Amino acid sequence: MAKTTDPVALNNWYVVAALSNLAAGQTHRTRLLGQDISLRTGADGSPNCAEIEAGQPVREVEHIAVRYDFVWVCLGRPTQDIIDIPEIGDSGRRYIQRGRIGVATSGPRIIENFFDLSHFSFVHTGTLGGLNVTEVPPYAVDVRENGELWATECRFFQPKASSASDEGAEIAYQYRVPRPFIALIYKTSPSRPTDNDIIGLFIQPRDETDCIVHSFGLMWNWKNSDAEMLHFFHEVFAQDRSVLIHQLPKKLPLMPRREIPTHSDALSIAYRRWLDKSGLQFGVDREFAKSA
C-alpha cells in the first residue's frame, strides 16, 4: 500500500529506531504508515530521515527528533509533542532498550493485547499468570484532562512478574495509553515493592497490519544482566506474538458486536471508544463493525 492519507495517523510521532542502533554513515531503511523511509546519522550523530520512492530519497522528513535514545519521526504536522516520560532520567531505575520485534498485525491490536489482564494466566502461564488464579478484579478506567487513557487499581497475582522475581506476588498495575500507538505499564517492582517498574511499547506501524514494536524497560533491577532481562521479555513477548498474528480481523474493530464484553474488558472497550473519537482510520476496522 501507499503512504496513508489519514491525518490522525500522519500527525502523530512514532519511534522508528533506537539511536544506538544507527551506525554512523550507514543508511537504515524502514517503513512508516505505508511509506518507505531511510534514516542516516550525520557527522554530529544526529539523524536525518527521507521518504523513499523507487529506491531514491524524494523528500526530506521535516519532523524528526531524538528522545529517550529513540529516533522519532512525524510524517505529517505534529499536533502534539512527543510524550513526556518524566521517570526516564530519574535516578534509581535502570533504563534498558529492548530491541525491535516485527508483528504482522495492526498497531491497535498490539496495544490492546499489551493491556489485557485476562490473558495473563492462559498465555503467560507460570510468569505473568497462573492457572489457579485467572479472575481479573475490577479496576478503574478514565480519560484524563490531557486526553490520555488510563486504567488504575488493577491487581493480579503473578508467579514471576519480572526477571528479578524470586517468588510469586500480588502485583498492582496501572496502564497509560497516551497516544493510539503507545502504551506504558506501571507495575509493582518485585525487588522494590513500594515502587514500580515501567515498561513502554512504541509501535511503528509499517503498514496497517504490519508493525515493528520498539520497547523499553525502566526497572528497579540491578541484579540481572541485560541478557537475562531481555530473555525474560522475549519469552513473554514471543507468547503474545503467537496470539497476535492469529487474531482476526487484523485491523481492530472499533465497535465490536460479535464479542460479549465482561468487566475485565473495560479498558479495551474504553480504548476502542477513545480511538473512535480520535477519528483514526489507520489500523482500525470501521466497516467490520457495521457489517458485524
Footprint on this chain of Fe ion (rule: CB under 5 A): 240
Q: Which is nearer to Fe ion, 120 or 181 (CB)?
A: 120
Least CB distance from residue 210 to Fe ion, whole Å? Answer: 20
**Cα–Cα nearest to 14, from 86, 60, 76:** 76
Least CB distance from residue 15 to Fe ion, whole Å? Answer: 20
DSSP count for the chain of H helices, then E strands? 6, 16
Distance of CA 103 to the CA centre of its chain: 12
Q: Which is nearer to Fe ion, 197 or 240 (CB)?
A: 240
Residue nearest to Fe ion (CB): 240
Least CB distance from residue 244 to Fe ion, whole Å? Answer: 9
Q: Which is nearer to Fe ion, 6 or 240 (CB)?
A: 240
Cell of 283: 489500523
Least CB distance from residue 113 to Fe ion, whole Å? Answer: 6
Q: Which is nearer to Fe ion, 239 or 281 (CB)?
A: 239
d(CA 135, CA 118): 7
172: Cβ–Cβ under 8 A, 6 or more apart, which residues? Answer: 153, 154, 155, 187, 188, 196
Q: Which is nearer to Fe ion, 207 or 240 (CB)?
A: 240
Least CB distance from residue 241 to Fe ion, whole Å? Answer: 9
d(CA 281, CA 8): 8
d(CA 260, CA 59): 46
Spatial contact of 204 and 15, defined as CB atoms under 8 Å apart? yes
